[in-house]
Amino acid sequence: MKNFTPFWVFIFLPMYANALDNEYTVTPIIIDGVAAEPVWQTAPWHSLNHHIVGAVPTKDDFWGRFKLAWNEDALFLMAEIVDDVIYDRHPDPLVNYWDDDCLEIFVDEDASGGDHLANFNAFAYHVALDGNVVDLGEEARVVLLNDHVESAWRRSSYPPYHIIWEAKIRIFPDTYSVDAPVEPVKLSVGKELGFMLAYCDNDGSATREHFMGSHPIIAINGDKNLGYKDASVFGKVTLTKRIVRF
C-alpha cells in the first residue's frame, strides 16, 4: 500500500494545480476597488507566484493573489497586490502597454487553447492603471477593448499598502471582431473557460522588470512569455455553484 500515495499525487496534482476554484455571486459586485461583497469573503485565494519574465521579485517589490467569482453576465476578479512603485510611463494606451504596471487577464471562452496572436480565439487583456484595456486583434493590430473589462483599484493607506483591484470581465466568443462585434456569452454552471492572470511590474525602468503569473509555463527556447499568443498555456476555470444545505 505504501506505493499508492505517490501514484495518486502524480496523477491528480497537475489537474488541481491548473484548475481555479471560483464562486457564484448572488449579490451584485460593485467595481470600486473595495472587496466588501460577500463573495469576496468566501471565495478561495489563488497565487500570482509563477515567474514569466525578468528577475523574481522580492515580496515588497511585487506580491499578489486573487479570487474569482461569476454570475450569468460576467466573470469577476478581485486581486490583492503589493507593488512598491506604481508606474505608468506611456500615456498612450497603445504604446508599450506591457512595460507599464498592468494586470493581464487571459481568457479563452471555449477553453480551446491554441494560437490567438492575430485573432480572437482567446484574449490577453492588458488592464492599465488608467483602466484602458488593450489586446492584439486581427492582423495582430493593437486594439482598445475597454467595453470588455470594467476595473477599479484602490491602495491601502497602511503598510504593506495592499492594492485591491476589481474587474468585471465579459466573456466574448472567438467570433468576436473589432469591425463586427458580437455580444458576450451568458455564463452558466459547469461552463469551462481558459483563464490565466499575470501582473506586469515596472518601477521606473525602460522595460518591465517582472512579469509574474498564476500558472506555471514551460519555456520554449527559454521563453515563458507565451500567454499573449498561445492560449494552450492558460489554466482552466469550471464555473461552480456551491450547494447550500440547511
Q: How far is CA 165 from CA 105, 148, 242, in A?
A: 12, 16, 24
Minimum distance, C-beta of residue 104 to Ca ion, in the bound complex (Å): 14
Measured between alpha carbons, how far is 63 from 55 in angstroms, rounded to an integer? 13
| Residue nearest to Ca ion as judged by C-beta position | 112
Q: Does 84 bind Ca ion (CB under 5 A)?
A: yes
Nearer to Ca ion by Cβ, of 83 and 99: the residue is 83
The total number of residues shown for the chain amounts to: 246
Alpha helices for 49-105 (secondary structure H): none
Q: Does 73 bind Ca ion (CB under 5 A)?
A: no
Nearer to Ca ion by Cβ, of 101 and 104: the residue is 101
Q: How far is CA 20 from CA 42, 56, 62, 79, 92, in A?
A: 14, 23, 22, 14, 33
Give the per-residue contact string, 111-150, with Ca ion (x = CB under 5 A; - = no).
Answer: -x--------x-----------------------------
Nearer to Ca ion by Cβ, of 200 and 217: the residue is 200
Identify the residue among 21, 61, 88, 192 touching Ca ion (CB under 5 A): 61
Nearest to 98 by CA among 55, 154, 153, 136: 136
Q: Does 99 bind Ca ion (CB under 5 A)?
A: no
Q: Does 83 bind Ca ion (CB under 5 A)?
A: yes
Identify the residue among 80, 99, 101, 230 touching Ca ion (CB under 5 A): 101
Nearest to 191 by CA among 27, 56, 24: 24
Phi, psi dihedral angles at 51 (to 5 degrees): -70, 135
Binding residues for Ca ion, total number by CB under 5 A: 17
What nine digits make up the cell of 94? 497603445
Binding site for Ca ion (CB under 5 A): 30, 32, 34, 61-62, 83-85, 87, 101, 108, 110, 112, 121, 174, 201, 203
